[in-house]
Structures are given as structure tokens and as C-alpha cells.
Structure 1
Amino acid sequence: MALRVPHSHPFHNFMQPPIPTKKPIRLCRVSTQRQSSEPIESRKLVLEVKEKLGRDYKGLPVGRYGRDDEEMILWFLKDRRFDVEAAANKLAKAIKWRQEFGVSNLSEDSVKHIATTGKAYVHDSLDVNDRPVLIVVASKHFPSEKDRTENQKLCVYMIEKALSKLPDGKQEILGIFDLRGFRKENADFEFIKFLFEVLYCYYPRRLGHVLYVDAPFIFMPLWQLVKPLLKSYASLVRFCSAETVRKEYFIETTVPDAFRGY
């Protein structure tokens, strides 16, 4: 998300012929070399992480989402700013978590019972930025009525489902928390803490933005408790209205039914 700063170029008097110079050619050649070397350097670092995981974490599985999954390794390298040691350690924890949590065993059938509450779902259409959309309906969440583990399984399953809808070349999803009708009975500090811990530790940089829609006054004390725990993710949160969701994040034919103006 870093800003790209354009190169400045000298202006020549249009009445005078330009003075020949090799500088632009030399700069172009250097830029091309830098661009062509980046994939080579990234590949080298991926192999370093792969070797480290194979050496230090032999017990971890291999294959998709395993210690030799090069696409996953590259993603964690980017998250850790290409620090091999940090990327390997964070990825090892993520792979262990996937094993212990049983992510590969999650399916539509395994979460069907709690999914019928309608508290969370993946929207059929992408947003205007071609991001899959995960919607949470806070007014349908009653932590005292459901087992915490079941809520966590539904959460992870929905994240996995959203990520499976990523178009080629896209890397992030949009999260929408529909807070209309939110009451104190819906407040669940532990679940929100779990959600952002999962996103930060195990799905880093997969969340593009989080929209808190029509948050009532009663929600704000909970937000003040949660905000310090979100770390960098706090900057991704936007408080907005249902109208904003409808007009800025979707086109007329793709607006979720819950946000349509009737």
C-alpha cells in the first residue's frame, strides 16, 4: 500500500532541439535490472524459508498449506518484510494452528447448524475492488446461546470460503460488520479478539478493510476495549452507514440484499 513516487524529468525548451543524453537510457536499464532481479531474490528467500522449515520443523506437514507450500511461504515473507527468520517462525505457528484447529476438516456440513443462524456469510458477488465479501450480522450473534468453539469454527470456515473466491491477482477480502440492531446481548469481546488474532497471526494481510455499519452508541465501549488489541488492523476499520456500503462498495446489481434501499 506504499505510495509510488514518480521520477521527475527535466523540461526542455520546445523551441530548441533537445540535448542528446544517455541518462534516461541508463536509468531505464538500471530499473529493468532491478525489476528482473526481484523475482530471483524472492525465489531465493522462499527457498531459504523452505529449507529452514524442513530443518527446524520436520514434524510439520507438507503439501498445500504445509511447510513446502511456496505460495504460502512467499505470502508470509511479504508479511514479515522478507525477514527469513521471522517469516519461518510465524509460518510454523500458522501451520501448527491449522493442524490443531482442524482447518482442513471444516466444511459446509460441519458448520451447517450454526450457519443457519445467518450471523455470518460470504456474499455471492465481489465488491467494486474485486474483493470477496465476508458479512457478519451482529444482531444474530448470541454468545450465551452457542458454544464458543462452534462460533470460532464458523468464523474460520467463512474466512477460508472468502479466500477461495479471490480472483487471480487479488489478495484481500472485505469484512462488513452489520451493527444495526446491536444490543448488549450481542457483545462478545472474546470472539472479536479471536477473530482479529486469527487474521493477524494466521491470515496476515488478507483483510483489506473492515466496515462497521451503523454502529449504535452501545457498541462504542466494546470498540474502545477491542481497538488496542487490533494493532495495525485498527487502521483498516471504517465506521460508515448502510448507504455508504451500498454506494461506495458495490454497483446496483451486486449490493447485498441487507443493504439495498427499498
Structure 2
Amino acid sequence: DHPAAHVTVLGLRRRSFGRNGKQKITTSDSKKEKMALRLPHSLGLPCSPSSSSAPRGKKPLRLIRYSTGNQMVPSVDARKLVLEVKEKLETEHSDLPIGENGRDDDDLILWFLKDRKFSVEDAVFKLRKAIKWRKEFGVSELTEESVRNLYETGKAYVHDFLDGQGRPVLVVVASKHFPGRQDSSENEKLCVFLIEKALCKLPKGKEEILTIIDLRGFQTENGDISFLRFLIDVFYYYYPKRLGQVLFVDAPFVFQPVWQLVRPWLKSYASLVRFCDAETLRKEYFTEATVPTSFKD
């Protein structure tokens, strides 16, 4: 399903994870000098992820040339494949909803075709599961009011600015997550709401978001394996290829057992994970003006 992967680990104190895999990664000055884009801080959902980078009805489907690993694959007729998937969904899964993010949503179908390397059968299988989940979870019904209680704790939010690569930024403050005191279903709703919100901020031509897990102050009572499993499944099954990178910032020693349990579930997606410190975050991913307030010097 996925290419071989590796985990880049840097910036950790030796007492946490040692030096295994330590690698220096730098960012060019030109990347750091990109102009920051100020984004609205509204908690509402002004758009849907399927239309954020390709407005519905405005971007024509076309022949697409893509690659798998180092091998180039001949151009495919995207329009033909989208229609084929749409027809199969209508014939075999007519009970699925239609409309935006439904079984007749061209943008959504094309995205899942890309994720499944343009295999119609594989795309249909994954789309059926994703559309059904969206309906049962009530994604379209999530509102500012429905997540307000947990949102106001500050445990997670979408940052006002894009990162240095022009990606929306989702920040999770692990020390404010208390699975023993907070309802798990409410945590899941907040998670999905913020993913949708971040995807709605995708600039034209961008397709992925950056997630920052702030582990400063993390204690054993903040650990939540069930929620991490939910988060992994959500990105793999329902928001494929939307996660550009995950930064675990200043991971303490007590986080090591959690990581050892979670890492096998990630499989090749572990290549998206990077351990770093706050200084690395500030220097390589943001400018002085755009870094999240909690990470300023």
C-alpha cells in the first residue's frame, strides 16, 4: 500500500530517546523568507476539504500522469475514471448520500482515485467506507457550538498562520488532554472539526497540513492510546494523503512507552513523523512573526 519508510529523530534530549536516527535537516533561506499569509481565526467551517484546493465546477478533470515509486505510469483519463467510480457507487451503494462529500462529488472521487493509484475498485471500496463514516459520525453537523467546551480548554487549535511551506497548521497541546476526565466522543468530534477547519484553509495548489504535537509538560495521565488509534485511522481511511508531516515537540522520557506502542500502527506512515525541539520548530518551520505564540522565545 505504501512505500518503505523511516523516522527522522532529532532535537531530543539523550535521556528521552538517545541519538538513534539523529539527523540534521536544514531549510533554505529562500524557504524561510516566504511571505506569511494571515488567516482568519473564525472557528466556523466556510468550506469543505474536497473543495478547498479545487473549487467545485471550476477545475476541469484532465489526463493525469503520475508515478509509483520511481516508475512513471502512462496518463490516465481522470474524467473517465471518475465517471466509472460514480456509476459503480450509484449502482452498488445507492444508499450513500449525494452532494458535497457524497458519492457523486467529483473532487472527492478524484482525490480517492489518486490515493488508490487510480484503481477504480480500490477507490470505490475506500470511498464507500469514508462516505458512510462521514454520515454516521455527523461530520457535516459539527459546528462551533458542538465543540466549544473542549475547544475552549486550548487543547487543540488551528494556527492563524501557514507554516514555511504554505501548509495550514493544526496544534495539539498534549498536557491539556485528560482522557480520564474528558469524554472520548467529544474529543473525537473536536479532532474531526479541527481537521476539517485546517483543510478549509488550504491555499490554492496545496493539499496537506502540518500537525504539531506539543509534548512539553506531558505526563502519564495525558496518555491516550485509544485516541491516537482513532487519529491514525481517521487520516488513513477518511483523509488520505492530507497529513504532510507530524512534529512531536520536546518529547519527555515518559512519552517513550506511548511511542513504542503507537509506531507499529503507523507502518510506512511513520515517515511523516519527526521528533524535534521548540528551537527547531521556530527556525525551520516558521518566521519570528508566524510562529505559534506558545513557542515564541
Asked if the contact 2:171–2:212 (Cα under 8 Å) also holds between the matched residues in 1, the reply is yes
* Greater RCO, CA 8 A, separation 6+: 2
In structure 2, distance between residues paired with 1:76 and 1:232: 19
Which of 202, 207, 212 is the aligned partner of 2:238? 202
In structure 2, distance between residues paired with 1:176 and 1:257: 13
Q: Which amino acid aligns with 1:226?
A: V
Which of 203, 227, 235 is the aligned partner of 1:167? 203
In structure 1, distance between residues paired with 2:159 and 2:75: 34
Query: Which is greater in Rg?
Result: 1
Task: Name 1:108's counterpart in structure 2.
Answer: 144
Which of 185, 190, 201 is the aligned partner of 2:226? 190
Q: Which amino acid aligns with 2:262?
A: V
- 4+ residue stretches of structure 1 with deviation over 6 A? none
- Structure 2 counterpart SS, 1:136: strand
Instruction: Answer yes or no: is 1:223 the counterpart of 2:259.
Output: yes
Instruction: Answer yes or no: is 1:87 the counterpart of 2:123.
Output: yes
Instruction: Answer yes or no: is 1:123 the counterpart of 2:159.
Output: yes
Q: Which amino acid aligns with 1:260?
A: K
Q: Which amino acid aligns with 2:284?
A: E
In structure 2, distance between residues paired with 1:143 and 1:51: 43
In structure 2, distance between residues paired with 1:90 and 1:72: 11
In structure 2, distance between residues paired with 1:164 and 1:252: 25
Shift of the alpha carbon at 1:46?
Answer: 1.0
Alignment of 1:1-262 (within 5 A): 41-261=77-297
What is the aligned-residue identity percentage? 64
Structure 1 stretch displaced more, 244-253 or 134-143: 244-253
Give ranges in structure 1 of 5+ residues lacking alignment: 3-32
Give ranges in structure 2 of 5+ residues lacking alignment: 4-62, 66-73
How does the TM-score come out when normalised to structure 2?
Answer: 0.75
Shift of the alpha carbon at 1:256?
Answer: 0.4
CA deviation map 1:119-163 (0-9, x unaligned): 100000000111000000000000000111000000000000000
- Structure 1 counterpart SS, 2:210: strand
Asked if the contact 2:99–2:105 (Cα under 8 Å) also holds between the matched residues in 1, the reply is yes
Shift of the alpha carbon at 1:231?
Answer: 2.2
Q: Which amino acid aligns with 2:174?
A: A
